[in-house]
Structure 1
Amino acid sequence: MNARAAVHPIEQESYAILRRRLDTTDLPPLTRAVVERVVHTSADTTWVGDLVTAEDALRAGREALLAGAPLVTDVRMVAAGITARQATVALDLAAAPEPGLTRSAAGIRAAVAQHPDGAVWAIGNAPTALAELVRCAAEGLLRTPLVVGLPVGFVGAVDAKAALRASGLPAVSNRSERGGAAVAAAAVNALLYAEEAP
């Protein structure tokens, strides 16, 4: 298990405020950890009705991460926010994309070739990256214990996240256009720092 530095008093007070405003006690432990960390990161309690999680998927992702499974992010900003693990950044692997393929999608394609089995994926920027990851899985190119699919955007984000949920992949996602690097990193950090063993 990853050791975590002592929690700063500001963070303790922030969580105390969060819990006064939001009752998460009825949520399963890892779902609660993810929801609370995303809410804490964004200072937005409405994430509760937007996030879509499954406790068994979160457990599988946590176990994989704690066992040393590779972690792959779409962009450096997601990797930078994950404080307890190094990550492969898919965008850094992107060659010149084929016509009609974004650089983000090309990076995911390259990362899938490097990590076809067992990596945990965290997508927090480009909807096209998530769409490509789902496509690769549908073609049998990818097996994963967990996809954190929280890209942001007015174009394609809702559709990419809906496709992730429909794919049957173990996942964390949300229903709306919002998302981003900070919340994707927060979801991964929640699993790494969760105090309750699954």
Structure 2
Amino acid sequence: MPTEKGPDHSRRKERSRQAILAATRELVAEESYEKVTVEAIAARAGVGKQTIYRRWPSKSAVVFAALLALSEPADGQDDGHALALPDTGDIEADLKLVMRATAEEFSDPAFDRLIRALNTEIANDAALAAEYREKLARPLDEAKKARLRSAQEAGQLDAQADLDLVLEVLYAPLFQRWLHRSAPLTPAYADSLVEAALRAFGP
């Protein structure tokens, strides 16, 4: 019996986790972040409030987990390539594909509310900011830099280019435009950032 209950218990815990994270994303998309409570998340997910607090210490931690879960493989299996950028051999085409997808993601109202809520908390919570860097920002940056290195090896980027600076030139203007809602994040704008970066850091 214990061996039979173990897997069932794990599956129930995972179903509960997924329900909580989905409920969090839904509520943040529907309401302002300030109005969302742990009690509301628990009610939407069909779990007790203590079930949430046993896993996460605060609402902001749940919101971060809900965002992080968006990058999980759909089947729950990590095949080692989840964070790899496309590599067709054409760095311009690959970067435009990625930057267009980024612009589209940040233009999605549900994602917009979730990431704005998280950024608000990160600005005031050093521990959450460190967790964000460790679990999401750094792995994403390493995946991006791996693709840029392959472009350097292929002679498509300056071999001496500072890859952290390349990423800043690509992403900082997009983030700034998104943060201030100063203009739409269009595919043409995403393409222009790639073209500007390649002019600056080309071979």
Q: TM-score range by the shorter chain?
A: under 0.3
TM-score normalised by the chain length of structure 2: 0.25
Structure with higher RCO (Cα < 8 A, 6+ apart): 1
Larger Rg: 2
Answer 1 or 2: which has greater strand percent.
Answer: 1
Answer 1 or 2: which has greater helix percent.
Answer: 2
